[in-house]
């Protein structure tokens, strides 16, 4: 018996982000997580929301050279932890953060280790 959750993905643009997130807050969803996947030419950011055990995702794509995002911590304060992590691990600039650690949330020796720009391949 396969148990697979039904999850909806919605692809949006960077300019629609705050409007869509405010709509989710009005519907009563809670923020679950924000994650980033580095693909070959761009970075794919996924925002996950949950209401009544149903998961829905908002997905947007940004270029590696122009990596900056508006913050949603004005709507969901809990997002500050995820957005600081995006900045520390991937080098994405997030503007208007409610609590901004300026790169000191994670104590790392290499700046932005997960970003494809740093030549940081894992060695065998």
Partner 1 sequence: MAKRTVVPFGPQHPVLPEPIHLDLVLEDERVVEVIPSIGFIHRGLEKLCEIREYPEMVYIAERICGICSFIHGQTYCQAVEGVMKIDVPERALFLRTIWAEMSRIHSHLLWLGLFADGFGFESLFMHSWRVREKLLDIVEETTGGRVIFGTAKVGGVRKDIDNLTLNRIKGELKNIEKQCRELTSVFEKDDSVKRRTKGVGILKKEDAVALGAVGPTLRASDVEWDARKLGYAAYSKVDWQIVVEKDGDCYSRCIVRCKELYQSFNIIYQCIEKIPDGPIDVKVTGSPNGEYFARTEQPRGEVIHYVKANGTKNLARFRVRTPTFANIAPLVKMLEGCELADVPVIVLSIDPCISCTER
Of 66 and 121, CB closest to partner 1: 121
Instruction: Decide: residue 107, CB within 10 A, 0-12 exposed, 13-18 middle, 19+ buried.
Output: exposed
Strand partners for 31:
49
- Binding string, residues 2-41; x marks residues near partner 1 by CB under 8 A: xxxx-x----------------------xxxx-x-xxx--
Structure-block tokens of residue 51: 């209401």
State both tokens at 48.
Answer: 């996950």
Listed residue (57, 50, 45, 61) closest to 20, CA to CA:
57
Least separation, in Å, of the C-beta of 78 and partner 1? 4
Q: Nearest approach, Cβ of 30 to partner 1 (angstroms)?
A: 6
Residues in contact with partner 1 by CB under 8 A are 1-5, 7, 30-33, 35, 37-39, 46, 48, 53, 55, 57, 76-78, 80-82, 88, 101, 104-108, 113-114, 120-122, 124
């Amino acid at each position: 018996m396969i148990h697979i959750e039904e999850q909806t993905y919605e692809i949006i643009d960077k300019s629609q982000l705050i409007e869509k997130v405010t709509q989710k807050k009005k519907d009563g969803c809670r923020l679950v997580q924000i994650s980033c996947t580095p693909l070959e030419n761009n970075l794919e950011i996924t925002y996950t929301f949950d209401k009544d055990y149903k998961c829905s995702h908002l997905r947007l794509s940004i270029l590696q050279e122009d990596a900056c995002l508006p913050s949603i911590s004005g709507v969901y304060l809990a997002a500050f932890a995820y957005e600081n992590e995006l900045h520390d691990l991937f080098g994405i600039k997030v503007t208007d953060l409610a609590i901004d650690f300026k790169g000191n949330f994670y104590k790392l020796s290499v700046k932005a280790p997960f970003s494809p720009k740093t030549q940081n391949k894992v060695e065998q």
